[in-house]
Structure 1
Amino acid sequence: MDQLQAQRDQLQKERDQLQERMNHLEEEREHLQIQTEQAFQSVDEIDKICDEIWHHANTIHLYSLLSEEESKSITMKEKQKEIIRTTEEILNII
């Protein structure tokens, strides 16, 4: 009978340890879920920022092309070409 009680106590102790481990794993899962949601939100924000940068760079590129064509000054044309090259690099990065 003492042996059965000892086994029961041991099994109860193991069950408590497993329950504790399961609770810990559940907390870790919840923490990882929160981190995953935050990462997705960050990606969405980064995508929005990239879209906005692309739009502005594209607008600058277009205006530079138009200004270059209309400009009569050689220095102004060179500056516009530099702006065009820079915005093309930005657009390629995005």
Structure 2
Amino acid sequence: MAKIQQALASGRYDAAGQIASMKLGMSSMHGDQMEQEVRYMPPGMRELGASLHKQAGEFAVAAQDAAATEDAYKPVMLFGQMMQACVACHAAYRLR
């Protein structure tokens, strides 16, 4: 998230969108490792994770639009929502 935030803050909207898409978007979810991790997640954690991955895709599109329009309102708003999903998940689910 820090790399996305840095790119967004410096006006590199294309880079922010690309990072979000590659690292957090739905396309980042693949392979045996993902299947193994999801298997042990409680349903609420899976829901929060799926929400974050969906939001990352929406953010990536909004960031690409901002690269063309220079209007950063929507990607900044969506980035805030992504952060809320992260905070909610990390607050609710911890390894003990």
TM over 0.5: no
Short-chain TM bin: 0.3 to 0.5
Structure with the largest fraction of helix: 1
Structure of greater Rg: 1
TM-score by length of 1: 0.39
Normalised by the size of structure 2, how large is the TM-score? 0.38
Higher relative contact order (CA 8 A, sep 6+): 2
